[in-house]
Structure 1
Amino acid sequence: MNFKPKSASIVYYVSDIQRTETFYNETFGLGLERMEGADPFWLQGQLENGLDLIFFEMEGTRGNTPAIVFEVNEGGIDDIVAELADSGVTIVTPVSEAPGGWSADFLDPDGFGLGLWQSGELPRTLKS
């Protein structure tokens, strides 16, 4: 497999986005920004080391949140997910539309949730 992650985000599914915004901005001073494109908005911020924290309001249970999401920087999310599946990796959510692009979820060997996200500006496949 040619995919080598260069960046990652930690994604949390939270029950109350406003409560989360208050806690992380006022208690932790993270300066999360409201991002539009999903209903409701989502929150996003970056730590000094470059790690992104992203919060979506949706049902989440322990074990599927938080999740580490790797960004696909050169395109080809469909190719990467196909290679993962061919390698025996359990695909939880096939490539599907996500805010600003495409995403897919899968499990590591211990059952921990991992994800991929790719900008919609990049090609979904690099194969001709």
Structure 2
Amino acid sequence: MLTHCKVGAIVFFVSDLARSVAFYRDTLGLPIDAMDGHDGPFAMGEVGELALVFIPRPARAGESPVVVFSLEGGIDDHAEALAAKGVEIVVPVSESPDGGLSLDFLDPDGNVLSLHQNEGAPRRH
């Protein structure tokens, strides 16, 4: 089902956004920038083709980091296919901070995984 996608991002839920930005940018030297999204502030940077996203929000064990698989479209089709296979959907298809769409679900051990497609991509194939 996900054979034509790639890991596009890793999302970290962090307790202190400024502290995390300082660590990843100033200590590790990664190009991380803070910004405002439709749900509030967050930070983002790229390491090669992989985006690192930092969202200020407490997280329970298993909720962070979240591996995000990038789709070129068809997120609604993927959501239906996952649900049909008994996968637990924890956040249905909804708008992501960058204006695209995302869907969060659990693997068998309760780890959160996510699908994301960019703004304007078709919701169905």
| TM-score, L = length of structure 2 | 0.88
Residue 76 of structure 1, aligned match among 68, 74, 77:
74
Q: Which 5+ residue runs of structure 2 have no aligned equivalent? A: none
Q: Which residue of structure 1 lines up, in the alignment, with residue 14 of structure 2?
A: 14
Q: CA deviation at 1:39?
A: 4.5
Q: Deviations over 1:20-53 (max 9, x none)?
A: 11111111111202233244321111224x3221
Matched to 2:37, the amino acid is: G
Distance 1:113 1:101 in 2: 19
Number of matched pairs: 124
CA contact (8 A) 1:77 1:125 kept: yes
1:97 aligned onto 2:95: yes
SS at structure 1 position matched to 2:102: strand
Q: Which 5+ residue runs of structure 1 have no aligned equivalent? A: none
SS at structure 2 position matched to 1:25: helix
Distance 1:51 1:82 in 2: 26
Q: Deviations over 1:61-109 (max 9, x none)?
A: 2210111011112x11011010011111111111112121111111112
Q: CA deviation at 1:7?
A: 3.3
Distance 1:106 1:43 in 2: 23
Q: Which residue of structure 2 lines up, in the alignment, with residue 41 of structure 1?
A: 41
User: Greater strand percent: which structure?
Assistant: 2
User: Which segments of structure 1 move beyond 4 Å, counting only runs of 4 or more?
Assistant: none
SS at structure 2 position matched to 1:19: helix
SS at structure 1 position matched to 2:29: coil
SS at structure 2 position matched to 1:24: helix
Distance 1:2 1:27 in 2: 35
CA contact (8 A) 1:3 1:80 kept: no
Q: Which residue of structure 1 lines up, in the alignment, with residue 50 of structure 2?
A: 51
Percent sequence identity is 44
Distance 2:58 2:18 in 1: 15
